């Protein structure tokens, strides 16, 4: 039986059977070890009182008296010295009392059959309806010795109260089983819905809402699954957009390279034209190389699950070194630069943070007109360090500000083509800052410049 509902039914039934069996064995063991002797003594007292009454009252009808005793709930077995026997009340299921025992009682001994009944695993001695499971006493009637063996008549002892209690137990068992089946059905329905939902997710169908409103652990699982599905759907959308953007960004330079390579095959081209085409091919090749490197860096950042390789380094010196790399571009565009850098020793990954400063400085240089200015500031506070990179460049509008960190987004496509941008730099910046537990903010106005503010927590 493979279904969970079927397994619950089988397990429930098995538990009820096993619990009933354990209960029976426990009661049986308790009777044999604790109650058997007490029950024997109680019935021995009754048997002696019967014998005493017979011996103290001569001339009455013995048979009628014994029939009366059987009518009030006892089974009686009476044997005289001649071996004549008589039974009163319901018959014994098994007549296994030996003649040797009868002779011992006739000779004046008493018989503790209930006390000495052998213990058996699956037989409760109290209900064992056999002649050996009796108590025996001798008595004298009209000068003749008799052996009297007595035990309760279990059927007569089961009064209306016992039947009511037995009926209650039976009804409770039936209701418990039916209730368990209904509860199992209610528990399994959400699991069935979750199973169908997981199959849809396996088929890349991330839409739809789970109709599970319970507040228990299954409800929590359903809510977690719903959030996971929404996240997977969002990731799937981003992945498809990413593939589309990558394909587009690779396709353009490849088409240019192919086109200009075909033009170079023309033998009638002048040397100057040929050099111009070669320069375009070289430029597009460098653009592809830069795009590939940035994609590899983004991939490594996305897959980074272990902590960064952090160490203490001089953050101010790193910013100065970044500026030195692009000093030639500052001079070429005749731009002014101001730096206000505190002496800060920071704990972080210097290799990744270097990419942050390179991208921010390059953006400022690329999108600032000749003769403009760049301001770089490094300050240290009690719990963080702050780096600001501002420029007097072309700036951005509100739409561009909302998407500036999206991968492959370009605020000014034509300008980006001129500067060789890939639309991945600021995505890399944001990812590295997040990995360091920091934040990055941008403030910009169209035509008035842009300022990036990076806040990194101190360890």
Q: What is the pLDDT of residue 418?
A: 43
- Specify the length of the chain in residues: 459
Q: What's the token pair of residue 301?
A: 């950042």
pLDDT tens track for 119-159: 766 556 667 788 999 999 999 998 899 999 999 987 776 65
Q: Please indicate whether residue 197 or residue 126 has the higher confidence score (pLDDT).
A: 197
| pTM for the full predicted model | 0.46
Q: What is the mean pLDDT of residues 89-95?
A: 88
By CB atoms closer than 10 A (0-12, 13-18, 19+), residue 432 is buried
Same domain, 340 and 447: yes
Q: What is the pLDDT of residue 148?
A: 95
Q: What is the pLDDT of residue 273?
A: 86
Q: What is the pLDDT of residue 410?
A: 61
Any domain includes 131: yes
pLDDT tens track for 417-449: 444 455 677 888 888 898 889 999 999 988 889
pLDDT tens track for 152-188: 987 776 655 556 666 777 888 888 778 877 877 777 7
Q: What's the token pair of residue 230?
A: 């929404």
User: How many structural domains compose the chain?
Assistant: 3
Any domain includes 449: yes
Same domain, 61 and 118: yes
Average pLDDT, the chain: 82
Same domain, 68 and 140: yes
Same domain, 316 and 364: yes
Q: What is the pLDDT of residue 417?
A: 43
Any domain includes 59: yes
Q: Give the Å distances, CA to CA, from 186 to 16, 191, 218, 226, 303.
A: 21, 9, 11, 20, 41
Query: 139, 158, 177 — which closes off a domain?
Result: 158
DSSP E strand boundaries for 73-134: 74-80, 85-88, 111-112
Q: How far apart are CA 369 and CA 60, in angstroms?
A: 138
Q: What is the mean pLDDT of residues 250-255?
A: 76
Any domain includes 379: yes
Any domain includes 141: yes
The fraction of the chain above a pLDDT of 90, given in percent, is: 26
Q: Which residues contact 287 (CB under 8 A, 6 or more apart)?
A: 253, 420, 422
Q: How far apart are CA 123 and CA 212, in angstroms?
A: 51
Q: What is the pLDDT of residue 162?
A: 54
Same domain, 360 and 274: no
Chain center to CA of 85: 73
* Contact (Cβ atoms closer than 8 angstroms) between residue 356 and residue 438: no
Same domain, 282 and 322: no
Q: Residue 339's beta-bridge partner residues? A: 376
Same domain, 453 and 315: yes
Q: What's the token pair of residue 372?
A: 């403009």
| CA-based radius of gyration for the chain | 50
Query: 119, 134, 158 — which closes off a domain?
Result: 158
Any domain includes 232: no
Q: Which residues contact 182 (CB under 8 A, 6 or more apart)?
A: none
Q: What's the token pair of residue 175?
A: 């209701």
Same domain, 93 and 19: yes
Any domain includes 207: no
Q: Please indicate whether residue 33 or residue 93 has the higher confidence score (pLDDT).
A: 93
Same domain, 75 and 110: yes
Query: 135, 158, 181 — which closes off a domain?
Result: 158
The DSSP secondary structure of 357-418, one letter per residue, reads: HHHHHHHHHHTS-TT-EEEEEEEE-SSEEEEEEEE-S----HHHHHHTTSTT--SSHHHHHH
Q: Which domain holds residue 49?
A: 4-158
Q: Residue 8's beta-bridge partner residues? A: none
Same domain, 365 and 294: no
Same domain, 355 and 428: yes
Q: Is the pLDDT confidence value at 290 over 50?
A: yes
DSSP E strand boundaries for 57-189: 74-80, 85-88, 111-112, 135-141, 144-152
Angle made by CA atoms 244, 247, 249, in degrees to the nearest 5: 105
First to last CA, the chain: 58
Q: What's the token pair of residue 182?
A: 């209904």
**How is residue 94 annotated by DSSP?**
B
Least confident segment among 4-13, 342-351, 409-418: 409-418
Q: What is the pLDDT of residue 416?
A: 43
By CB atoms closer than 10 A (0-12, 13-18, 19+), residue 280 is middle
Strand arrangement, sheet containing 449-457 = 336-341, 373-380, 384-391, 449-457, 439-445
Same domain, 9 and 154: yes
* Contact (Cβ atoms closer than 8 angstroms) between residue 430 and residue 355: no
pLDDT tens track for 358-412: 889 988 998 888 989 999 999 999 899 999 999 998 888 888 787 787 766 666 5
Any domain includes 170: no
């Amino acid at each position: 039986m493979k279904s969970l509902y079927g397994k619950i039914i089988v397990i429930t039934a098995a538990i009820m059977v096993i619990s009933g069996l354990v209960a029976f064995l426990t009661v049986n063991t308790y009777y044999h070890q604790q109650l058997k002797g007490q029950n024997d003594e109680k019935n021995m007292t009754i048997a002696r009182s019967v014998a005493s009454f017979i011996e103290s009252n001569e001339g009455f009808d013995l048979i009628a008296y014994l029939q009366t005793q059987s009518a009030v709930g006892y089974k009686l077995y009476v044997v005289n010295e001649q071996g004549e026997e008589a039974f009163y009340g319901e018959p014994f299921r098994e007549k296994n009392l030996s003649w040797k025992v009868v002779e011992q009682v006739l000779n004046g001994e008493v018989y503790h059959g209930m006390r000495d009944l052998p213990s058996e695993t699956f037989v409760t001695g109290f209900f064992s309806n056999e002649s050996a499971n009796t108590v025996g006493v001798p008595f004298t009637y009209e000068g003749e010795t008799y052996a009297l063996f007595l035990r309760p008549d279990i059927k007569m002892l089961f009064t209306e109260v016992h039947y009511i209690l037995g009926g209650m137990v039976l009804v409770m068992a039936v209701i418990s089983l039916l209730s368990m089946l209904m509860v199992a059905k209610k528990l399994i329905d959400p699991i069935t819905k979750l199973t169908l939902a997981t199959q849809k997710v396996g088929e890349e169908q991330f839409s739809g809402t789970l109709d599970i409103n319970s507040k228990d652990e299954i409800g929590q699982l359903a809510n977690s699954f719903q959030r996971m599905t929404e996240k997977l759907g969002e990731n799937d959308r981003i992945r498809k957009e990413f593939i589309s953007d990558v394909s587009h960004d690779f396709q353009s330079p490849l088409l240019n390279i192919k086109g200009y390579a075909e033009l170079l095959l023309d033998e009638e081209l002048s040397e100057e034209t040929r050099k111009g085409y070669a320069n375009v091919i070289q430029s597009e090749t460098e653009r592809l190389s830069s795009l590939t490197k940035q994609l590899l860096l983004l991939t490594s950042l996305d897959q980074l699950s272990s902590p960064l390789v952090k160490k203490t380094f001089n953050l101010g010196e790193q910013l100065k070194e970044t500026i030195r790399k692009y000093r030639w571009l500052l001079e070429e565009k005749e731009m002014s630069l101001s730096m206000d850098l505190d002496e800060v020793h920071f704990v972080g990954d210097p290799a990744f943070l270097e990419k942050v400063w390179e991208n921010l400085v390059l953006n400022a240089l690329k999108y600032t007109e000749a003769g403009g200015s760049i301001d770089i500031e490094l300050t240290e506070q009690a719990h963080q360090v702050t780096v600001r990179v501002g420029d007097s460049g072309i700036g951005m509008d509100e739409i561009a500000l909302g998407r500036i960190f999206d991968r492959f987004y370009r605020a000014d496509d034509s300008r980006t083509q001129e500067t060789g941008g890939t639309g991945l730099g600021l995505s890399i910046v944001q990812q590295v800052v997040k990995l360091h537990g920091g934040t990055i903010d941008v403030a910009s106005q169209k035509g008035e410049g842009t300022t990036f503010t990076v806040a990194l927590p101190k360890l």
